Chains A and B, each alone.
Chain A
Amino acid sequence: MYIRHSPLNSRDSELDRFRFRIAFAASVVVLAFAILIGRFIYLQIIQRDYYTTRAEDNRISLVPITPNRGVILDRNGIVMARNYSAFTLEITPSKVESLDETIEGLGKLIEILPKDRRRFRQLLEESKSFESLPIRTRLSDQEVARFAANRYLFPGVEVKARLFRQYPLGAIASHALGYINRINKGDLAIIEKHEQEANYKGTDHIGKTGLEQKYEFQLHGETGYEEVEIDAGGRAVRSLARTVPVSGNNLTLTLDARLQEITEKAFGDRRGALVAIEPSTGGILALVSTPSFDPNLFVDGIRTEDWEQLNNSPDRPMVNRALNGAYPPGSTFKPFMALAALELGKRTPNQTISDPGFYNFGGHVFRDDKKGGHGLVDMYKSIVASCDTYYYMLANDLGIDNIARFMGSLGLGQKTEIDIEGESEGVLPSPEWKKRRFKRPEQQKWFAGETISIGIGQGYNAYTPIQLAQAMAAVANDGVIYRPHLVRYITDSRTGEKTLIEPKPLRTLPWKQQNIDTIKNAMIGVNKEGTGARAFSGAGYVSGGKTGTAQLFSLKGGDYKAGNLKQELRDHALFIAFAPADQPKIALAVLVENGGFGAQSAAPIARMVIDYYLLGKLPNGPVQDDETPEEEE
């Protein structure tokens, strides 16, 4: 093709051709470099902002700083819930190649018990994908140092300083305080509902029950953020800026921690509940449900054994009996019945009946506890001696509608709206209630005979201890009824400003003062010369009370086979009281499950509580049952 004819001539033309190719190559080079420059202009001028943002996003990571959870104090400033800082060993599963090998390796440095592994597995199942999960909590300084020296061997594992919730009083008041535990899916839905997702970025615990749950969004605080420069491996290189977290607000309770403790100790190993209220405000002084549990167990994830033990125990320690347990009030119902009679004009204080020891209604005999009867009985005696016949007759005279209406006004059979969750309504019997409760028409009908036993607090009657305490407080407070509440004020952690939970009267019942005085006087008589006299002998104050015995009614029909059979067959003992009589500072309701007569086991607990609250008198241990035969209630 390129065979030349003349060497000289062809040589020049070939050189020309070659130089043309050089020029061609040069223009390709210039064109290619022009494309490159164009690309650079596109990236570095036109798209510059976009890529700058991308680079910033790459390098800056917003790390949430969890705020300190608010502290919970009792009315005297005793700390009931606080935080302490401890080191935890945490694994980020997404950054670890083999979890088993990592945990195995860590186990050689730091003690990791089987329960730690089990808890870790459990957390792993529940966790969001990118969080770090604790494999060990509460590391000692030595353990922290040992890990730090070997850290390079464990990518994806780090020691973090975390705040832990602590309940210094242990099991005391656990039903009121509640507990916190790791956030689960249900909690996430609540957080979303309150539009708090951003604020919970770094939080992994949330209040599950009690005050911890109810005041969650007060206690939590505002999450702070740290802008951290991170490298491609996600390790923090340095801190760029910091928004300080705002601690949660502190709660100051109406509760008296010492009173609470004494009361819980007074119960000993009995099951039961006590609610003590300050009548003039509705502030709860003590809220007891026994047995209780140690909320500290939940703080870093409860162990399965503990959880099963708490849930499967026949004594049901997780049930808050004070709010959730509904019991027939027994004879503690009588003062309220008597007040209804006075207010509705069905009885006068001095009107007497003759009690033969039974009451015959429609061919059915309703027996009085005292054989042969109490003889002539007026209103005072009907309460002091707890005469059943008086109230059988009265119930019939009042009629079920009047009873239901009056008891309803006292708050019985409805939620008190106390500031913790888990309340049950109880049962305020009425024809309407029966219609709602039963499905079949033959069951829905109210029989007049059913009204009779309602009069002595039996039958369908079922009220929670807090309802009884609220009703007692209403009478003690001359008809002004308050919503029971646990929190006295909330202290804003930023300003120190205290927001009082204003004790607003729910309603003022239009009772005549002389009627109230009649009832109070009769209740004073109970503790002076009646069924409460033995428990309150020698008290340095005047108090009013009423014993009660509820026919056996086990919680939610639960089976109590594990315990002492004989004890299980005993009735529940109840006692309601207020003191001092002239200006009541405390009103309470006590329930002892299977405690027998109210005078026997419930009244002595009430005495101990009031002694401490009014006189500062410390008990010498749990209340002993008064086993001496008692006049019947």
Chain B
Amino acid sequence: MFLKLLYRFRTRLVEHIDGPLLAISLALMAFGLATVYSATYDANSRALSQLLNMLVGLAAMWGVAQLPPQKLMRFAVPLYILGVVLLVMVYLVGVKINGARRWLPVGFTRIQPSEILKIAMPLMLAWYFNKYEAALSFRHYLIAGLLLIVPFGLIAKQPDLGTAILVGAAGFYVIFFAGLPWKVIIGMTVAGVSAAPFVWTMLHDYQRKRILTLIDPTTDPLGSGYHIIQSTIAIGSGGSFGKGWLAGTQTHLEFIPERHTDFIFAVFSEERGLLGNCILVALYLLLIARGLMITANASTLFARVLGGSITLSFFTYAFVNMGMVSGILPVVGVPLPFMSYGGTALVTLFLALGILMSIQSHRMLVKK
């Protein structure tokens, strides 16, 4: 009786969980925990609290995985509207910290509504395309673009270029997978390139400076170039096999800024070397490959475009972060998925994993 109960419980527990996705993300988390420990153990260790964040995230993932995509769809519109309303409120009454208005005070704490949009945006667009699946016309892509541009603009205005790029990319991926004609994509690319000088004049000074110092970090070695210089030194001095765990001099002598959050890759890379980097990149590649496999086999348009967008978001996070830390992309505040310390971002990532798992495990239900 008891054994039977236990068996049922176990079946229930793993029913909607995707083995490969879980295994890859657990491997990434193991790397992440070890690196967070290395980055923080000599000051105030964050490894334990990151472990707690992971457990919370795993629970959230499990929860979301239980929900069939049809139910997820119901959250799309309210979540999107909530996110946009909160963003407007941030614009009006937000708290300004370090020159950026990103937070909304809620009694005892404050929240960052842009985080909601990371999930709400692809969800909303996926819902929208699913709704008009039968008769998609060019008009729908335009409206989708409008739905995308409003929160994107609000977030970029805060200013929070990193999150704006992530949200914008997530939305764009949905539109792309929903079949945005190639002609339009190519046209937009051409238009984008030619509009670049115009956009340049609209950027904030600090954003321009980031791009300029990216091109030549040595122009401002003590100011905004400092981060890039120190992180490339950390990566380069790591060599083939790294300096060893807890042995990175750039890390432990505090030359790397934000070393447990946005720049954690510099820590990892200094201590694990090229070998570690390759393993890490391979894990992300596996994660993305599994995500795309799930997406390709998904049964509804909603599931396909949502799954594709979420999977490519993982790529965006990983590529933008590693690119900026190694000095080939400008410094924007993008965390490295499953590695960087931070509860909110981690939970968002697990929610995304949960959605993918839900898509995978509920794909047959539709057909039945």
Contact = CB atoms under 8 A, between A and B. Distances in A.
A2 B134 CA distance: 9
Interface in A27-48: 29-30, 32-33, 35-37, 39-41, 43-45, 47-48
Interface string B144-178: 00000000000000000000000000000100110
A40 B269 contact: yes
B281 A33 contact: yes
A58 interface: yes
B136 interface: yes
Given A48-B239, A51-B237, A59-B249, A37 B296 contact: no
**Residue of B237, B249, B278, B328 with most chain A CB atoms under a 10 A cut-off:** B237
A39 B284 CA distance: 17
Contact of A22 (B230, B236, B308, B327): B308
B41 interface: no
A1 interface: yes
Nearest to A34: B281
Interface string B320-343: 001100111000000000000000
Contacts of B254: 231-233
A48 B173 CA distance: 37
Contacts of A618: none
Nearest to B134: A4
B232 A17 contact: no
A16 to B, nearest CB: 11
Size range of the chain A interface in the assembly? 35 or more
B20 interface: no
Contacts of B137: 1-3
B232 A43 contact: yes
A129 to B, nearest CB: 14
B235 A51 contact: yes
In order of increasing CB-CB distance, the 10 nearest A-B pairs are: A51-B236, A55-B237, A231-B253, A43-B236, A232-B254, A44-B274, A51-B237, A52-B237, A232-B255, A54-B233
Nearest to A51: B236
Contacts of A54: 233, 236-237
10 contacts: A1-B181, A18-B179, A33-B285, A33-B319, A36-B281, A37-B277, A44-B269, A52-B236, A231-B254, A232-B253
A25 B304 CA distance: 13
A8 to B, nearest CB: 14
A44 B315 contact: no
Given A2-B179, A55-B234, A44 B240 contact: yes
Given A1-B181, A39-B328, A54-B237, A44 B253 contact: no
A36 B265 CA distance: 12
Given A37-B277, A58-B249, A230-B253, A29 B177 contact: no
B1 to A, nearest CB: 47
Interface stretch (B29-37, B188-196, B204-212, B287-295): B287-295
A233 B181 CA distance: 54
A571 interface: no
Interface in A446-485: none
Nearest to B139: A1
A541 B255 CA distance: 79
B363 to A, nearest CB: 13
Interface string A230-243: 11110001000000
Contacts of B138: 1
B319 A32 contact: yes
B319 A44 contact: no
B323 A36 contact: yes
Given A32-B315, A36-B319, A44-B274, A19 B235 contact: no
A37 B278 contact: yes
B328 A21 contact: no
A35 B136 CA distance: 36
A478 to B, nearest CB: 73
B273 A44 contact: yes
B253 A58 contact: yes
A45 B274 contact: yes
Nearest to A43: B236
B66 to A, nearest CB: 26
Nearest to A233: B254
B358 interface: no
Nearest to B328: A39
B319 A41 contact: no
Nearest to B282: A33
A56 B234 CA distance: 11
A347 B323 CA distance: 104
Interface string B216-239: 000000000000001011111111
Nearest to B136: A2
B235 to A, nearest CB: 5
B140 to A, nearest CB: 10
Contact of A29 (B240, B269, B285): B285
A51 B249 contact: no
Interface of B: 135-138, 173, 176-177, 179, 181, 230, 232-240, 249-250, 253-255, 269, 273-274, 277-278, 281, 284-285, 288-289, 292, 295-296, 304, 308, 312, 315, 319, 322-323, 326-328
B126 to A, nearest CB: 13
A30 B254 CA distance: 33
A1 B136 CA distance: 7
A26 interface: yes
Nearest to B234: A55
Given A25-B312, A37-B277, A44-B273, A55 B319 contact: no
A50 interface: yes
A212 interface: no
Nearest to A44: B274
Nearest to A46: B236
Contacts of B230: 58, 232
B328 A35 contact: yes
Nearest to A35: B328
Contacts of A39: 323, 326-328
Contacts of B253: 58-59, 229-232, 237
B279 to A, nearest CB: 11
Given A22-B296, A40-B235, 4 more contacts: A18-B177, A22-B292, A44-B238, A59-B250
B322 to A, nearest CB: 5
A30 B308 CA distance: 15
Contacts of B304: 18
B277 A44 contact: yes
Contacts of A41: 274
A30 B284 CA distance: 11
Nearest to B252: A231
Contacts of A59: 249-250, 253, 255
Interface string A44-79: 110110111011101100000000000000000000
B331 to A, nearest CB: 15
B116 to A, nearest CB: 25
A401 B316 CA distance: 101
B239 A52 contact: yes
Nearest to B237: A55
A492 to B, nearest CB: 40
B285 A30 contact: yes
Nearest to A229: B253
B308 A58 contact: no
A22 B307 CA distance: 11
Contact of A19 (B179, B240, B296, B322): B296
A54 B218 CA distance: 13
A50 B237 CA distance: 8
Contacts of A44: 235-236, 238-240, 269, 273-274, 277
B347 to A, nearest CB: 24
Contacts of A29: 285, 288, 312, 315, 319
Contact of A40 (B173, B249, B277, B285): B277
Contacts of B235: 40, 43-44, 51
Contacts of A232: 230, 253-255
Given A3-B135, A25-B292, A44-B239, A58 B281 contact: no
A52 B232 CA distance: 11
Nearest to A41: B274
